[in-house]
Structure 1
Amino acid sequence: MATERHPPNRAVLVFNRVAVKLAGTRAMPVWALVHHVGRRSGALYRTPVAVFPAVGVFYVGLPWGRDTDWVRNLRAAGGGTMVWRGVRYDVSDPTFVDKSEVLNVARLPQREILKRWSLTDFLRVRRVRATT
Structure 2
Amino acid sequence: MAGPPAGAKQFNKVAVRLAGHRFPPIWAVVRHRGRSSGKDYATPVAVIATPSTFLIGLPWGRRTDWVRNVRAAGGCTIRWKGHEFLCTEPTFVDQGVAVEAAHGLTRRMIRSREMAGGFLQLTRAPAPERSAMQSGW
Counterpart pick for 1:81 among 77, 82, 92: 77
Name the CA distance, whole Å, in 1 between partners of 2:14 and 2:31.
16
Match of 2:110 in 1: 114
Compare 119-128 and 81-90 and name the one that shifted more.
119-128
Please tell me the residue identity of whatever aligns with 1:18: V
1:25 deviation in Å?
A: 0.8
Please tell me the residue identity of whatever aligns with 1:85: K
Q: What is the number of equivalent residue pairs in this alignment?
A: 128
Compare 58-67 and 9-18 and name the one that shifted more.
9-18
Please tell me the residue identity of whatever aligns with 2:59: P
Matched, 1:25 2:21: yes
Name the CA distance, whole Å, in 1 between partners of 2:34 and 2:72.
9
- Aligned-CA RMSD value: 1.2
Matched, 1:64 2:60: yes
Gap runs ≥5 in structure 1: none
Compare 116-125 and 30-39 and name the one that shifted more.
116-125
Name the CA distance, whole Å, in 1 between partners of 2:3 and 2:105.
29
Matched, 1:104 2:100: yes
Please tell me the residue identity of whatever aligns with 1:53: A
1:37 deviation in Å?
A: 0.6
1:131 deviation in Å?
A: 1.8
- State the percentage of identical aligned residues: 45
Gap runs ≥5 in structure 2: 130-137
Query: How high is the TM-score relative to the length of structure 2?
Result: 0.88
Name the CA distance, whole Å, in 1 between partners of 2:25 and 2:100.
21
**What whole-Å deviation, never above 9, does each CA across 1:59-86 have from its counterpart, x for those lacking one?**
0000110000000000000001000010
Query: How high is the TM-score relative to the length of structure 1?
Result: 0.91
Match of 1:127 in 2: 124
